[in-house]
Amino acid sequence: MRAKDEFGPEYVLEVFDAKTGMQGVMVIDNTACGLGKGGMRMVPDVTTEEVMGLARAMTWKNALADIPFGGAKSGIKFNPKSPQKEAAIRAFADKVRKFIPDLYIAGPDMNTTEKEMAAFADQIGNKMATTGKPASMGGLPHELGSTGYGVALCTRVAVEFQGKRLDGMTVAIEGFGNVGTFAMKFLSGWGAKIVAVSDSRGVIYDENGLDYGALMKTKAERGTVTAHGSGKVLPPAELFKLPVDILIPGARPNVITDANVGEVKAKIVSEAANIPMTYEVEKKLMARGVLVLPDFLANAGGVISSYCETMGWDEKKMFEVVTEKITNNTKLVMGRTKDNDTRAAALEIAKERVRKAMAKRG
Ligand code: NAD
């Protein structure tokens, strides 16, 4: 099992429900900056070690986002397609209830949506038990686009920090789901030229630029961006090799690897997805002068929105807070970066904030 260190974890709770067969683990890694906040995933093969690693990642993400949350995560080992899914969520809620919401607040993650969040909060009997609830329960749903907006903003702030203009820069975006669509919407609105977008069926590539509204219509009516009509259709993996200024991996983990990193031509890689490449692969891009905007900086719009939800703020205020935090944190990371290693700078800032909070708490 992953070892404890100076930061945590503070609690590792493994639970089992004989009635449903649900096995679960809740890890509260570090609460120096605030109560533990992290998603609750349901996967048949989740392990305690994996959840510990994910909880630690949340400690750094929340600290870097500069929101008063510590790091935590939950994993429910259960078949997400089972008709007993809701019963398993409710059983998990019963087992961990004494930690909620003073030490842990859940949120949607793999195979859990606003529906599961509603069941979890209902079982606990407290709306504060989770974020990502339906709007009818006071939630700020992902559909508002906080993460994609944050990715676009982080990219723009970094470009301007380099003394350049986003206007006219070419962009390729992997994935046209929640994050990819909003990233395209805002980057297009700020004058960038989106030349390529992919989904699981392939890439649509048009050097003259793709229109956001028209592409949304194609995706809604035909189910895939590849049916768009204009430009060329390429296999999904070709997206990462295109001659663009900005590349946004925004769908799956580990898409840039030792095998294709040499073919990346973008000057900026803005990580919308979680872990689109390992740190070792990132370092290869950094060594070539590519600006990498690390995932826990670029895609923090979602956790900042979660914080706003716990404060009971509305959509307008949420976008204001995301704007302020992403702008400040991006500038801070850019200013602190040495040898083009943005991830090391971001991690250093996050660790400093956690250490400072730990010292304050004695
Ligand atoms: P989503 O399910 O809404 O969309 C995923 C998109 O990826 C879909 O368009 C799908 O067609 C596409 N896709 C699947 N396989 C693909 C392939 N082989 N090639 C290209 N595209 C493919 O998911 P999302 O919420 O947009 O999340 C995307 C990524 O962003 C994930 O890594 C997620 O962990 C990360 N993320 C999301 C949020 C959030 O608030 N939604 C927050 C932080 C990080």
Index of the ligand 1 atom closest to the CA of residue 219: 9
Provide, for the chain, the percentages of residues in helix, strand and coil under a 3-state DSSP scheme, each rounded to the nearest 5: 45, 20, 35
20 Rama sector, left if φ>0, alpha if ψ -120 to 50, beta otherwise: alpha
Helix (H, G, I), strand (E, B) or coil at 362: coil
Cβ atoms of 68 and 28 closer than 8 Å: no
Q: Which residues of the chain have pLDDT under 70?
A: 1-2
Q: Which residues on adjacent β-strands are paired with residue 23?
A: 16, 77
Give pLDDT, residue 3.
72
Report which of 296, 256, 250 is spatially closest to residue 278, judged by C-alpha positions: 256
Ligand 1 within 6 A of CB of 331: no
Tell me the pTM: 0.94
Q: What is the pLDDT of residues 131-181, one digit of tens each?
A: 988 888 888 877 789 999 999 999 999 999 999 999 999 999 999 999 999
Active-site annotation, residues: 73
Cβ atoms of 30 and 101 closer than 8 Å: no
Distance 331 CA to ligand 1 centre (A): 26
Residues whose CB falls within 8 Å of the CB of residue 197, separated by 6 or more in sequence, listed in order? 172, 173, 176, 180, 184, 203, 204, 210, 215, 225
Give pLDDT, residue 141.
77
Distance 274 CA to ligand 1 centre (A): 9
Give pLDDT, residue 88.
98
Give pLDDT, residue 22.
98
Where are the alpha helices (H) located in the chain, listed in sequence order? 48-65, 85-96, 114-124, 146-161, 178-189, 212-222, 279-287, 295-298, 301-310, 315-336, 342-361
Distance CA 329, CA 324 (A): 9
Structure tokens at 125: 């009997």
Report strand pairing: 170-174 vs 246-249: parallel
Ligand 1 within 6 A of CB of 270: no
Domains of the chain: 11-61+70-138 (3.40.50.10860), 146-301+330-347 (3.40.50.720)
Give pLDDT, residue 138.
83
Index of the ligand 1 atom closest to the CA of residue 199: 21
Q: 4: which DSSP letter?
A: P
Cβ atoms of 128 and 107 closer than 8 Å: no
Distance 249 CA to ligand 1 centre (A): 9
Atom 14 of ligand 1, residue of closest alpha carbon? 200
Q: What is the pLDDT of residues 234-269, one digit of tens each?
A: 999 999 999 999 999 999 999 999 999 999 999 999
Cβ atoms of 239 and 266 closer than 8 Å: no
Ligand 1 within 6 A of CB of 274: yes
Report which of 301, 315, 300, 263 is spatially closest to residue 285, judged by C-alpha positions: 263
Index of the ligand 1 atom closest to the CA of residue 305: 40
Give pLDDT, residue 137.
87
